[in-house]
Amino acid sequence: MDKVKFIYNPYSGENTILDNIDTVIRVHQKYGYWVVPFRISKDFELIDAFKDIDDSYKYVLIAGGDGTVDNVVNVMKKIGINIPIAILPVGTANDFAKFIGMPSNIEKACEQILESEPCELDLGKVNDKYFINVASTGLFTDVSQKTDENLKNTIGKLAYYVKGIEQIPNFRKLNVKVTSENMVFEGDMYLILVFNGQTAGNFKLAYKADASDGLLDVIIIKAGMIKDIITLFIKMLRSEHLEDFKGLIYFKTDKLQIECYEDILTDIDGERGPDFPLTIECIKGGLKVLGIIN
């Protein structure tokens, strides 16, 4: 019987997966798969999930948010495992899973995965780490890392907004240099977002993004008047197109460098990213994913 490695984060979102483990196993057994689970915890390294991987495993099923998927993909790349992944979106934001069309209903998601064929999607890379959805730096990039886990699990994505609002009084200009074949920017900014997907915190910002075009979508929010930034955030909340906003730069590229000497963090899919300088590139077709309906 073919096997599926089922890696689940019991702490993601509202602990949804804990009430649906039997559903995952039942649906897979119906399709002739043997589910081998691995529970993410502080007691074990994630790499331990792959100790028994052999040719009998057909894919890796990941239950969690973007950060969980990101961590699993990084481990798989590090140890050279190239079988497809599939995602059950049970985290707080689930931006990438929503982008590729995964339903929130666990049974429907499993059926969709099992009825599909693998698709090759692009994968982002920052220095020596990979990301599936978005890499960022500047204001707000440490919000997910500073947000209390209990608060996040209790009120979901609203917790990010609460923590973000707290940062507004601390707005300061951040000097960076961004270099690519398509654009060179040197000056003050508030935020840089580099998308493989389309959304961040459920805000659809990179609405032109295509995860199979071999390109990343870059958004730079230049430093300016606070009132202008508030106007921009209102446009984001309304899911309006942002290209006519004078303080914003939007371009596509397959590779860019970011230099910065400010005391700020970087973020990849809600987890802390590497230190500056950053080389960010798109690995075309770098990830095989199940569940995508063409």
What's the DSSP call for residue 275? P
Which class is 129-284 in CATH?
mainly beta
Report how far apart the first and last C-alpha atoms of the chain are (Å, whole number).
Answer: 28
Under the banding of pLDDT at 50, 70 and 90, the label for residue 95 is very high
* CA–CA dist 68, 72 (Å, integer): 6
What are the helix (H) ranges across the chain?
21-30, 66-79, 95-99, 106-114, 143-146, 149-155, 158-167, 226-237
Q: Is the pLDDT of residue 215 over 90?
A: yes
Q: Which of 72-86, 91-105, 191-205, 207-221 has the highest mean pLDDT?
A: 72-86
Residue range 2-115, CATH number? 3.40.50.10330
pLDDT of amino acid 231: 73
Task: Calculate what percentage of the chain has a pLDDT beyond 90.
Answer: 67
Q: Is the pLDDT of residue 107 over 90?
A: yes
Q: Which residue has the higher pLDDT, 82 or 246?
A: 82
Indicate the range of 31-40, 100-109, 214-223, 227-236 predicted with least confidence.
227-236
pLDDT of 163-184, one tens digit each? 454 555 556 788 999 999 989 9
Q: Model pTM?
A: 0.88
* Mean pLDDT, rounded, of the chain: 87
pLDDT of amino acid 35: 98
Q: Is the pLDDT of residue 157 over 70?
A: no
* Mean of pLDDT values over 199-203: 80
pLDDT of amino acid 154: 43
pLDDT of amino acid 138: 85
Q: Is the pLDDT of residue 40 over 60?
A: yes
Domains of the chain by residue range: 2-115, 129-284
Q: Does residue 277 have a cis bond before it (omega within 30 degrees)? A: yes
Task: Calculate what percentage of the chain has a pLDDT beyond 70.
Answer: 82
Distance of CA 241 to the CA centre of its chain: 21
Under the banding of pLDDT at 50, 70 and 90, the label for residue 264 is confident
- With helix as H, strand as E and coil as C, how does 245-257 read? CCCEEEEEECEEE
